[in-house]
Chain A
């Protein structure tokens, strides 16, 4: 019991530290695929620290925005904590907690975008809304389903497909970065943020990305591997692997239009989730 709590706490801390490092790694991978050299492995940490050292500028009428940005950071870390504990404690309550934090985090992002007194941010907010709508309900459903039924045999692994799809969407990588879409709406939901606020925003986005990269492994591993240390090792390795795969996929794609994306993703996620439910409900043997 103590070992598990200790391991879960360590995993949480590792997540916070590793997320910006993995982001640098992603930038490195992207650069290599672009035939560039790319930044050093600690670059994102340097960026965050530099932003934190800048003066705090609160955008016009944006005290509420600042509060929401910090709330978002806390929520993303809370989500990381709950997901880390998921690797060792499989009560339904844990799964519900994860689902609630995922949902609360999205809500905070939406609130953040509409509280900013900026047209681009509001457009970004609407786009964020469509991205979230197309993936989040399915992800939450999948988390709760796995929590309620457990993973009983290998055919349940078919659930990985919708989980990976929806987690990818939730990482706001290309083509699902339309809420930010720098060339179109000049960073949309982030346009008014700078300095420490931007650093907080960056950290919460990266933590969220870490959680989403970890989630496919963390949802299925506890049911398949008994040794807690092995679980941790595999969990860390698979998180890194998922992150790398997501990074490569993002390089290969272009940005899409809000309307097109909403439809395509929703249909795909719905189909895969239904397939999982059907497979799961077929009696064993």
Chain B
């Protein structure tokens, strides 16, 4: 696919990795950009390559399966490894010919690859060799065996007939169900906790109940590059702006344009505003889970001015519609700046008092401390992201590791705790609220003048012509819940493949070590402590609601998205 990018080494470490992969593992560079290098390796070397990269400090961001048969009669699987400490991505591609579609599994050496491998099998139909547990993760149980939604011949609005399938997977014993509808799960997900007395001994998870097929839609004729940010924004109701910005960053990389500085500042300000309201929302919910409703209500009272501020800046409390390829649609004037400063001062003062009070409530402290522990090594193995990683002593923050937009212009610290318990995750988020407030204030002070839209994009040329086919791009943003990754392969006027990996997707597998051995009473808090966002996680597939309604689906009736965590 695409152009054979000439590789220009930016830093010595990167060239060392490239040398190793090309010389020792028989790979060749297919594309490169200043902080990304795409290397294709023979598939039998994949496991060794993954092992080498993972042991040399890389985190697995995700893997993306692509149906490349129209281009080169083969399927491809891209593993996106992030060298966090060095600030660049190594994307390892393996191809599998269409009549022999398999790739070796890397789960043994990279536990974080578990879900994305299963998703590749479900969605594109690439078989996995050398994996112990192979089962459906995303597709519902009545989906036909041989239809894989992300293959190019499957139309985006295709509705297959319902097929009666044998149950693939059942846990050996019945546990306590949490979900799909439960007072603390605000979205449908299913956890089954096996308990002894009040102690959790094991956990089963079944997800992907709500599928909207957003990745497939993005490739469909209904969408163009300029429309995709609006689609991406609807991936999530809380951190939608993260997704739209991330998708746009990938597209701008592919187009080779950089938005004006002022637009970058405005995006950064709104991103941080989103983090503040998301964290405040979460702190409130955590208090509610602990039965401390006074904390819940007051946190939301403190949060309200932030929502009003969002409306002032973007026109909406949520789902801002602010982003366009090449810039933003609304400017921040003097009057708005003053209001932002004033509101943030108030929020900062009020939240400081509230946060001090919250962590001093004995029930909250006692229940959050020492529960839901995720050790550093477990966190590392699963490549967890965001506050979950930072509470377990992993220094991971996209804003620092891969500085994007205007983050270089602000000085801020990344809260880091080593305890790995629920309290640490609370404290990380509480501190991040204050850091975000400080970032916004600094950026407003430095807000540069100039246009808010790239000149090329404001002209009559449609954006779709600016983005040539055959380009690759990976963009990552530190969302409130952690690193959000968008992988883009450009096509004619719209993405050839657009892969979204939301932070919760990476963090849910960490719930199993967190929950085991803890009291049942703390399980909802622990589940809530990763701030799960299922609408982000479940976004990947077209589901047939009409056939699903025709019969009752029992909870364990089949292997739909069932997964032993």
Query: What residue of chain B has the Cβ atom nearest to residue A122's Cβ?
Result: B176
A160 within 8 A of B: no
Query: What residue of chain B has the Cβ atom nearest to residue A31's Cβ?
Result: B297
- Bound-state Cα–Cα, A185 to B183, Å: 9
* Contact B294–A33 (Cβ < 8 Å): yes
A120 within 8 A of B: yes
Q: Which residues of chain A come closer than 8 Å to B295, judged between CB atoms?
A: 254
A224-265 vs B, CB cutoff 8 Å, 1 = contact: the mask equals 000000000000000000000000000111111111100000
- Bound-state Cα–Cα, A215 to B446, Å: 65
Given contacts A177-B291, A254-B290, A256-B363, contact A186 B182 (CB under 8 A): yes
* Contact B298–A35 (Cβ < 8 Å): yes
Q: Which of B291, B298, B364 contacts A183 (CB 8 A)?
A: B291
* Contact B367–A256 (Cβ < 8 Å): yes
Query: What residue of chain B has the Cβ atom nearest to residue A119's Cβ?
Result: B176
- Bound-state Cα–Cα, A212 to B176, Å: 33
* Contact A183–B289 (Cβ < 8 Å): yes
* Contact A255–B182 (Cβ < 8 Å): no
A149-188 vs B, CB cutoff 8 Å, 1 = contact: the mask equals 0000000000000000000000000110110011111110
Given contacts A34-B298, A120-B176, A183-B184, contact A255 B198 (CB under 8 A): no
* Contact A184–B524 (Cβ < 8 Å): yes
Given contacts A35-B301, A36-B297, A175-B363, contact A255 B290 (CB under 8 A): yes
* Contact B291–A181 (Cβ < 8 Å): yes
B521 within 8 A of A: yes
B139 within 8 A of A: no
Q: Which residues of chain A come closer than 8 Å to B298, judged between CB atoms?
A: 34-35
Residue from the set A120, A175, A254 with the largest chain B CB neighbour count within 10 Å: A254
* Contact B367–A253 (Cβ < 8 Å): no
* Contact A183–B183 (Cβ < 8 Å): yes
* Contact A123–B520 (Cβ < 8 Å): yes
* Contact A259–B519 (Cβ < 8 Å): yes
* Contact B184–A257 (Cβ < 8 Å): no
B204 within 8 A of A: no
- Bound-state Cα–Cα, A249 to B472, Å: 59
Q: Which residues of chain A come closer than 8 Å to B521, judged between CB atoms?
A: 178, 181, 184, 255, 257-258
B324-366 vs A, CB cutoff 8 Å, 1 = contact: the mask equals 0000000000000000000000000000000000000101101
A38-51 vs B, CB cutoff 8 Å, 1 = contact: the mask equals 00000000000000
Given contacts A119-B176, A120-B176, A183-B183, contact A255 B363 (CB under 8 A): yes
Q: Which of B177, B288, B292, B297 contacts A253 (CB 8 A)?
A: B292
Q: Which residues of chain A come closer than 8 Å to B287, judged between CB atoms?
A: 254
Instruction: Please give the distance in Å from B136's CB to the nearest CB on chain A.
Output: 27
Instruction: Please give the distance in Å from A260's CB to the nearest CB on chain B.
Output: 7
Instruction: Please give the distance in Å from B63's CB to the nearest CB on chain A.
Output: 35
Q: Which of A123, A251, A260 contacts B366 (CB 8 A)?
A: A260
Tier of interface size on chain A? 20 to 34
- List which A110-146 residues lie within 8 A (CB) of chain B: 119-120, 123
Q: Which residues of chain B come closer than 8 Å to A253, judged between CB atoms?
A: 291-292, 361, 363
- Bound-state Cα–Cα, A45 to B533, Å: 38
Given contacts A254-B287, A254-B363, A256-B366, contact A184 B520 (CB under 8 A): yes
Instruction: Please give the distance in Å from B366's CB to the nearest CB on chain A.
Output: 7
Q: Give the tally of cross-chain contacts (CB within 8 A).
A: 79
Q: Which residues of chain B come closer than 8 Å to A254, judged between CB atoms?
A: 287, 290-292, 295, 361, 363-364, 367
Query: What residue of chain A has the Cβ atom nearest to residue B522's Cβ?
Result: A257
- Bound-state Cα–Cα, A119 to B298, Å: 33
B3 within 8 A of A: no
Q: Which residues of chain A come closer than 8 Å to B184, judged between CB atoms?
A: 183-184
* Contact B291–A255 (Cβ < 8 Å): yes
B293 within 8 A of A: yes
- List which B166-185 residues lie within 8 A (CB) of chain A: 176-177, 182-184
* Contact B292–A186 (Cβ < 8 Å): no
Q: Which residues of chain B come closer than 8 Å to A252, judged between CB atoms?
A: 294
Instruction: Please give the distance in Å from B191's CB to the nearest CB on chain A.
Output: 13
Q: Which residues of chain A come closer than 8 Å to B294, judged between CB atoms?
A: 30, 33-34, 251-252
- Bound-state Cα–Cα, A253 to B365, Å: 12
Query: What residue of chain A has the Cβ atom nearest to residue B363's Cβ?
Result: A254
- Bound-state Cα–Cα, A178 to B519, Å: 13
Q: Which residues of chain B come closer than 8 Å to A178, judged between CB atoms?
A: 521
- List which B143-191 residues lie within 8 A (CB) of chain A: 176-177, 182-184
Query: What residue of chain A has the Cβ atom nearest to residue B302's Cβ?
Result: A35
Instruction: Please give the distance in Å from A246's CB to the nearest CB on chain B.
Output: 15
Query: What residue of chain A has the Cβ atom nearest to residue B197's Cβ?
Result: A126
* Contact A174–B291 (Cβ < 8 Å): yes
Q: Which residues of chain B come closer than 8 Å to A36, judged between CB atoms?
A: 297
Q: Which residues of chain A come closer than 8 Å to B367, judged between CB atoms?
A: 254-257
Instruction: Please give the distance in Å from B308's CB to the nearest CB on chain A.
Output: 16
- Bound-state Cα–Cα, A33 to B298, Å: 9
Given contacts A123-B520, A174-B291, A181-B521, contact A35 B297 (CB under 8 A): yes
* Contact B183–A182 (Cβ < 8 Å): yes
Instruction: Please give the distance in Å from B70's CB to the nearest CB on chain A.
Output: 49
Q: Which residues of chain A come closer than 8 Å to B296, judged between CB atoms?
A: 34
- Bound-state Cα–Cα, A187 to B181, Å: 13
- Bound-state Cα–Cα, A47 to B291, Å: 22
Q: Which residues of chain B come closer than 8 Å to A175, judged between CB atoms?
A: 291, 363
Instruction: Please give the distance in Å from A280's CB to the nearest CB on chain B.
Output: 32
Instruction: Please give the distance in Å from B206's CB to the nearest CB on chain A.
Output: 17
Q: Which of B198, B292, B363 contacts A258 (CB 8 A)?
A: B198
Show the binding face of A for B, using Cβ within 8 Å: 30, 33-36, 119-120, 123, 174-175, 177-178, 181-187, 251-260
What are 29 A-B interface contacts by the 8 Å CB criterion? A30-B293, A30-B294, A34-B294, A34-B296, A34-B297, A35-B297, A36-B297, A119-B176, A123-B198, A123-B520, A177-B291, A178-B521, A183-B288, A184-B184, A184-B521, A185-B520, A186-B182, A187-B183, A251-B294, A253-B361, A254-B287, A254-B290, A254-B291, A254-B295, A257-B366, A257-B519, A258-B198, A258-B519, A260-B366
Besides the known contacts A34-B293, A185-B520, A187-B183, 18 further A-B residue pairs in the complex with CB atoms under 8 A apart: A35-B301, A119-B176, A120-B176, A175-B291, A183-B184, A183-B289, A183-B291, A184-B520, A184-B523, A251-B293, A253-B363, A254-B363, A254-B364, A255-B367, A257-B366, A258-B519, A259-B519, A260-B366
